[in-house]
Structure 1
Amino acid sequence: MNKEERIRKNIEFRKVYRKGKSCSNHLLVLYVYKNSRNVNINRIGISVSKKVGNSVVRSRVKRLISEGYRLNCDDLKKGYDLVFIARNNSKGRNYKEIENAVLNLFKRAGLNN
């Protein structure tokens, strides 16, 4: 993902939390906010709490979520800010389970084309 496709600043995360809509399943929570500045791209942020595990576990969960997004982002509507929050259950899951959770959230949020 390019630099402009990421949400990095705390104020941007808080804006998506405060103004966006959320949907969840047993592994992940997804906040979606319609972005008015970048209409042609989606921006993504991933948050994994220390409650999920140590740094190795948290990094693995982040990588699995971003890979699930990367492989399926072409099928999504453009112009949204997306923030994924990993739940405690996502620890120890394999890629296929995380990808299915990501796809399920996209469908629930109405982001599929």
Structure 2
Amino acid sequence: MIEPGQSQWYTGWGYTSVAESQKPAGNMQQAFLPINNPTVCRKSFFGQISNFKMLKYTPIYFLFTQDFGGPLVQQKTIDSPWFQYGISSFHSENCEDAGLFTRVTSYCFWISVMTGIKC
């Protein structure tokens, strides 16, 4: 399980700036993102965050509209497998404050039933 303060990799094809003329990235982008405490998440989104969500925040890397659905992954050690912990869901209104990810472990039962793969 991911804990607040740990960081994970996020990948996406979305915009790389908030400029109106900006187009989605031509190449997949990646960023190393810290995960915030659930209390911070709830404050950022006015208390509308459930345990099914987790928040990343960094003033350097943002989530943009075209990034939705992208994975948030982590590899604990160089020899261990990669695990997906989140799926990008939405961002704050200005795209610069916070990005919200759906917590994959909250849907393990459904994933297992639908795919036959243990989550």
TM class, shorter-length: 0.3 to 0.5
Which of the pair is proportionally richer in strand? 2
Higher normalized contact order (CA 8 Å, seq sep 6+, divided by chain length):
1
TM-score with structure 1 setting the length? 0.33
Structure with greater Cα Rg: 2
